[in-house]
Chains A and B, each alone.
Chain A
Amino acid sequence: MNPHLLTILIFLPLAAAMLMMLVPSTKKTVYKYIALITGLLQLLLSGAMYWLFHPKGSGITEERLYQFVDHVPWIRLDMGSLGLLEIDYYVGVDGLSMPFLFLTAFVMVIAIGASWDIQKRVKGYFILLMVLDMAVMGVFSALDFFLFYVFYELMLLPLYFLIGIWGGARREYAAIKFFLYTLFGSVFMLLVIVGLYFSVTNPDTGAHTFNMLYMMNPANYAPDSIFSAFTQRELFGISARLLGFIVLFVAFAIKVPVVPLHTWLPDAHVEAPTPISIILAGILLKIGGYGILRVCFSIFPDAALQSAWWLGLIGVVSIIYGALVALGQRDLKRMIAYSSVSHMGFVMLGIASFTVEGTAGAVFQLISHGFLSAALFFLVGMLYDRVHDRDIYHFRGLASLMPRFTVFVAITFFASLGLPGFSAFIGEAFVIIGAFNAEGLHGLLPRWMAIGGSIGILLSAVYFLWTLQRMFFGQLRVKGGNAWVAALSDASPRETFVMVPMLALTLALGVCPALALDNINASVLALVELVTGVDH
């Protein structure tokens, strides 16, 4: 086995992007084939890694429990009294990140499939897509905070252009709004990173370090440093550690997104082209959840425990608010965007419960939502490609016109609303169980929050089924008349080819959740133990 498997996985798209730069821009078809081959190679590679991954490798705080680790010194600068600047190229995988690497590779292939008919500036499009791919892979595997931040920010730029150039009517607004929201969160994250850097020393060399694993061990903090757990320094009247946690949390919560930091999401989703919506919902929202677990909880476990009630509240509000707003949408894509807000609320509720069930459910929900939202946006894209309209009230009785498409929609909708047998059910059920148990276990969350989550499931059934009824059942009537009827052809072989694996995966995960849970479990146990201090 090649020891640099993970590095190859991360930088493969960069190599592809460089290759694309060499291809003259007259050969328009070459780019998508390079992209597809890269995507498939990544899928193969991450699949192999998933297969080779040892489920006992819990990772979280211990380097020896990470797998596929690559750890080489990167930047060493002598800064005089500031000490030696120690930045490593440090990547590794544990149960928390492994599923996301596979998810990223999978969703990327779907997105490349969805970009097959892009005509406008093909070269730039696929190069940016590849850079984005690299950055996302990097975020999910970086264990050095500097490296993490570099990849994290590197995602913004390709996305800005992908939304801004290839997007819909209000794309400029959506692109810059997305960029500013995320940047606002991340510049303050940078300040916390600097604070952490000066608080933590590498026990081996005595130098300050950006190593995230060292940041997770309270013993590595200098006693008088700002983020030291022992001295509990205060800033603006609240504990510095709590403040650091809040700043990091806000940065990631914008990405998740949670109510009330979600307002960039509907705009970005609606204006982005279909493949980018798929990537946004399928992968980028997951970075928020992953970041909260990997960074906020692991580095500031005490502050996380302290804020459990608020995190749970944010989760419940997101679930109910997202569902209610989704109920009121006319635009199908907007409705799905708000359903994402609602579904990501479950993630917040699950991680706020600080129980093994809840946290595992949250991670599972992240993965499941990755597949399902990709499928949902792909389906909306299919409709939009045909008639350039997404208004729910402009369609009626589509079932008779597009039977195969309707089947896909129905399955995806049922899967999304949490029908047993599909992956979303497992995720949401675990979250609710975790939230319910939390009161008895350590009293962090009141029971009504679990009930709020259950109401959210009910509401999601309402908006999905109502939409299904409005658009697909009844007499065939579409706004554009016969022109539309002619344009609304059923799912093409390419589209079927993309949809089937996604639905198969959510079904497989629903029937046999152990496929994912086995690999997640050890890490979730270690994380919950780290935060609550209770040995399970």
Chain B
Amino acid sequence: MTELLPNISNKLDHVLAGLPMLLPELVLTATFLTGIGAGLFADRYWRHASFAVTTVGIVLAGVCSAWQLALPAVDNLLFGMATMDAFGRYARLLTAAVCLLFVLFAKANPGFNAHRKKTSDLYSILLAVHIGLNLMGVATNWLMVFVAIEMASIGSYLMVGYLAKEARQTEAAMKYVLFGSVCSAVMLYGLSFMYGFTGDLNFTSAAHIQGLEGTAPLLVATALLFVFTGIGFKLSFVPFHFWTPDVYQGASTPVTAFLSTAPKIAGIALLARIGYAWPADSNAFQYLHTLILVSAIVTMLLGNLAALRQTNVKRMMAYSSIGHTGFLMMAVLAYSSGEFAILLFYLAVYALMNMGVFMLADYIEARTGAVDVDEYRGLGKVLPAAFVSFVILLISLTGLPPTAGFVAKLLVFSAVFNNWQLTGNAGMLLLLIVGALTTVISLFYYFKVPLHAFLRQPEQERKTLPAHPIVVGLALLMAAAVLLLGIFPSWLMA
């Protein structure tokens, strides 16, 4: 201990110098504490207190991230724990936007409002998850990765179980916890291998790369597979997707919307960061890319094919989000360091579409009680604005012009095609073909919504209940944004 003493001031200086880079996280931490206080004491006098604190905190954190976009990239933050570059900062900003949408969404959700616990605890959990996701996008150290994933996961377990009343919901939460813990454990095991091979936990360091090169390829592949399990659980790609449909269906809709969007942003950022940390000719790089390639193809196919058979809208969207994960992984493969514009564009558009669709599903459920596609019969006439925006968002999810989903899809195809042209990797061509095929498949199930809502007649007159208009208002805005960004993508890409 004593030999470390002379270094303490140096180390402290390093830590202090790094802290400004983590300003958004610090703001969120402060909000987290204030939020708990507000929930305990202030909500009694003004029931929107914790909501206001959370909103302000997230917006403030977002503003800090936006302000930091212009700063130069910082490597080796906090002794190699994280790298703060533009990609991580954009991912952070995007996560903040999704969290903000979630807060508004949850505020308007009747289930949360009627609940005894109200929403103040949910907000605190959300802030913790937000911090975890932020760190996931910038982590360069395996321990940091693990801590970030756990932080996001544990918060997510609580969110899923927050409203659990029926057996189905409890089952979903339980399944999520059990599956998540097993995946974490497996990942940790893999990480211990990685540390054993290299003696270094920073996966971007030279020692780590050298260590991996010096290890038997089979061992590296096994360790990578274990690590992949943990990330796969967060991203829910095949074969780590089993929990998704049950959890998505069982959780309350705002939580489902959040879980199918925010962790994907951070998870994809993490995957891209790991995927390009190593030199392209190293064994580890090759294994990881083959793994991602195979899972991307299987995920796209399985997600979309399984969605075909679903009748519950949330379950269908769960499988659709699995399909989109496959597409995102394809984008990761085409991504090469420093050029993250396409990946971020797809993520941003995906966040818009996915949040929008779940908001509408929730709004429709609140107004009419319909949760299955069959129950949407003839509702297009009853709730025209909601269903028109629903259709626009679904078109965008399918990837048809003139929506942002199309531009995003085209950009990913372009990136993959370019990659194929440069490397001649036949897997890339396969990805393109599968990507195109699944577009056609996805049309089948996405169009069940307009099919029932507009083409079929209702069996009896539907009574509608009142619901908070903010959700449908937001969804309308998002549908309009999806259309506008489809025609003028440069508004976002600049």
**Chain A residues engaging chain B, CB cutoff 8 angstroms:** 75-82, 85, 121, 149-150, 153-154, 156-157, 160-161, 164-165, 171-172, 175-176, 179-180, 183-184, 187-188, 190-191, 194-195, 197-198, 225-226, 235
Of residues 441 through 484 on chain B, the ones whose CB sits less than 8 Å from some CB of chain A are 443-444, 447, 450-451, 454-456
Question: Which residue of the partner chain, among A150, A171, A180, A188, contacts B436 with CB atoms under 8 Å?
Answer: A188
Q: Is B76 an interface residue (CB 8 A)?
A: no
Question: Which residue of the partner chain, among B381, B433, B443, B488, contacts A180 with CB atoms under 8 Å?
Answer: B443
Q: How far is the CA of A184 from the CA of B490 in the complex (A)?
A: 28
In the bound complex, residues from chain B placing their C-beta under 8 Å from that of A179 are 443, 447
In the bound complex, residues from chain A placing their C-beta under 8 Å from that of B444 are 176, 180
Q: How far is the CA of A252 from the CA of B381 in the complex (A)?
A: 35
Nearest CB of A to B373, in Å: 13
B400 in contact with A76 (CB, 8 Å) = no
A156 in contact with B421 (CB, 8 Å) = no
Nearest CB of A to B294, in Å: 21
In the bound complex, residues from chain B placing their C-beta under 8 Å from that of A190 are 410, 413, 436
B488 in contact with A75 (CB, 8 Å) = yes
Of residues 376 through 418 on chain B, the ones whose CB sits less than 8 Å from some CB of chain A are 381, 395, 400-402, 406, 410-411, 413-415, 417-418
B451 in contact with A164 (CB, 8 Å) = yes
In the bound complex, residues from chain B placing their C-beta under 8 Å from that of A195 are 417
In order of increasing CB-CB distance, the 5 nearest A-B pairs are: A80-B339, A150-B401, A187-B436, A164-B455, A153-B401
B413 in contact with A194 (CB, 8 Å) = yes
| Interface mask (B408-436 → A, CB under 8 Å = 1, otherwise 0) | 00110111011001000000010011001
Jot down 5 A-B pairs with beta carbons below 8 A, ordered by A.
Answer: A150-B406, A153-B406, A187-B436, A191-B417, A198-B417
Query: Which residue of A76, A150, A226 has the most chain B CB atoms within 10 A of its CB atom?
Result: A150
With both beta carbons as reference points, the residue of chain A lying nearest to B339 in the complex is identified as: A80
Q: Is B222 an interface residue (CB 8 A)?
A: no
In the bound complex, residues from chain A placing their C-beta under 8 Å from that of B455 are 161, 164-165, 171-172, 175
With both beta carbons as reference points, the residue of chain B lying nearest to A175 in the complex is identified as: B455
With both beta carbons as reference points, the residue of chain A lying nearest to B336 in the complex is identified as: A81
Q: How far is the CA of A172 from the CA of B444 in the complex (A)?
A: 12
B417 in contact with A150 (CB, 8 Å) = no
A225 in contact with B421 (CB, 8 Å) = yes
B490 in contact with A75 (CB, 8 Å) = yes
B414 in contact with A198 (CB, 8 Å) = yes
Nearest CB of A to B399, in Å: 8
In the bound complex, residues from chain B placing their C-beta under 8 Å from that of A161 are 450, 454-455
Of the four ranges (under 10, 10 to 19, 20 to 34, 35 or more), the interface on chain B belongs to 35 or more
A150 in contact with B402 (CB, 8 Å) = yes
Q: How far is the CA of A198 from the CA of B410 in the complex (A)?
A: 13
| Interface mask (B482-494 → A, CB under 8 Å = 1, otherwise 0) | 0000001110010
In the bound complex, residues from chain A placing their C-beta under 8 Å from that of B488 are 75
B450 in contact with A191 (CB, 8 Å) = no
Nearest CB of B to A137, in Å: 15
In the bound complex, residues from chain B placing their C-beta under 8 Å from that of A121 are 381
Q: How far is the CA of A81 from the CA of B419 in the complex (A)?
A: 10
In the bound complex, residues from chain A placing their C-beta under 8 Å from that of B381 are 121
With both beta carbons as reference points, the residue of chain A lying nearest to B436 in the complex is identified as: A187
B440 in contact with A149 (CB, 8 Å) = no
In the bound complex, residues from chain A placing their C-beta under 8 Å from that of B400 are 153, 156-157, 183
In the bound complex, residues from chain A placing their C-beta under 8 Å from that of B402 are 150, 154
Known contacts A75-B490, A180-B443: A197-B432 contact under CB 8 Å: no
B341 in contact with A80 (CB, 8 Å) = yes
In the bound complex, residues from chain A placing their C-beta under 8 Å from that of B433 are 191
What DSSP secondary structure best describes chain B's contact surface?
Answer: helix
Known contacts A171-B455, A198-B417: A75-B489 contact under CB 8 Å: yes
A194 in contact with B339 (CB, 8 Å) = no
Q: How far is the CA of A172 from the CA of B454 in the complex (A)?
A: 10
A191 in contact with B436 (CB, 8 Å) = yes
Q: How far is the CA of A114 from the CA of B400 in the complex (A)?
A: 30
Question: Which residue of the partner chain, among A78, A149, A184, A188, contacts B401 with CB atoms under 8 Å?
Answer: A149
Q: Is B131 an interface residue (CB 8 A)?
A: no
B490 in contact with A76 (CB, 8 Å) = yes
Q: How far is the CA of A165 from the CA of B215 in the complex (A)?
A: 64
B439 in contact with A197 (CB, 8 Å) = no
Q: How far is the CA of A272 from the CA of B411 in the complex (A)?
A: 35
A157 in contact with B454 (CB, 8 Å) = no
In the bound complex, residues from chain B placing their C-beta under 8 Å from that of A77 are 341, 489-490, 493
With both beta carbons as reference points, the residue of chain A lying nearest to B342 in the complex is identified as: A79
Q: How far is the CA of A79 from the CA of B488 in the complex (A)?
A: 15
Query: Which residue of B411, B418, B456 has the most chain A CB atoms within 10 A of its CB atom?
Result: B418
Question: Which residue of the partner chain, among B338, B414, B451, B490, contacts A197 with CB atoms under 8 Å?
Answer: B414
With both beta carbons as reference points, the residue of chain A lying nearest to B489 in the complex is identified as: A75
In the bound complex, residues from chain B placing their C-beta under 8 Å from that of A75 are 488-490
Of residues 335 through 380 on chain B, the ones whose CB sits less than 8 Å from some CB of chain A are 336, 338-339, 341-342
Q: How far is the CA of A187 from the CA of B434 in the complex (A)?
A: 11
Nearest CB of A to B446, in Å: 11
In the bound complex, residues from chain B placing their C-beta under 8 Å from that of A180 are 440, 443-444
Nearest CB of B to A178, in Å: 12
Q: How far is the CA of A171 from the CA of B454 in the complex (A)?
A: 12
Nearest CB of A to B412, in Å: 10
With both beta carbons as reference points, the residue of chain A lying nearest to B338 in the complex is identified as: A80
Nearest CB of A to B272, in Å: 14
A183 in contact with B439 (CB, 8 Å) = yes
Q: How far is the CA of A357 from the CA of B490 in the complex (A)?
A: 46
Q: How far is the CA of A285 from the CA of B488 in the complex (A)?
A: 30
A184 in contact with B440 (CB, 8 Å) = yes
Nearest CB of A to B184, in Å: 35
Q: How far is the CA of A179 from the CA of B455 in the complex (A)?
A: 14
Nearest CB of A to B384, in Å: 9
A82 in contact with B418 (CB, 8 Å) = yes
B339 in contact with A79 (CB, 8 Å) = yes
A164 in contact with B414 (CB, 8 Å) = no
Q: How far is the CA of A183 from the CA of B440 in the complex (A)?
A: 6
Nearest CB of A to B85, in Å: 14
Q: How far is the CA of A184 from the CA of B439 in the complex (A)?
A: 9
In the bound complex, residues from chain A placing their C-beta under 8 Å from that of B338 are 80
B451 in contact with A183 (CB, 8 Å) = no
Nearest CB of B to A354, in Å: 31
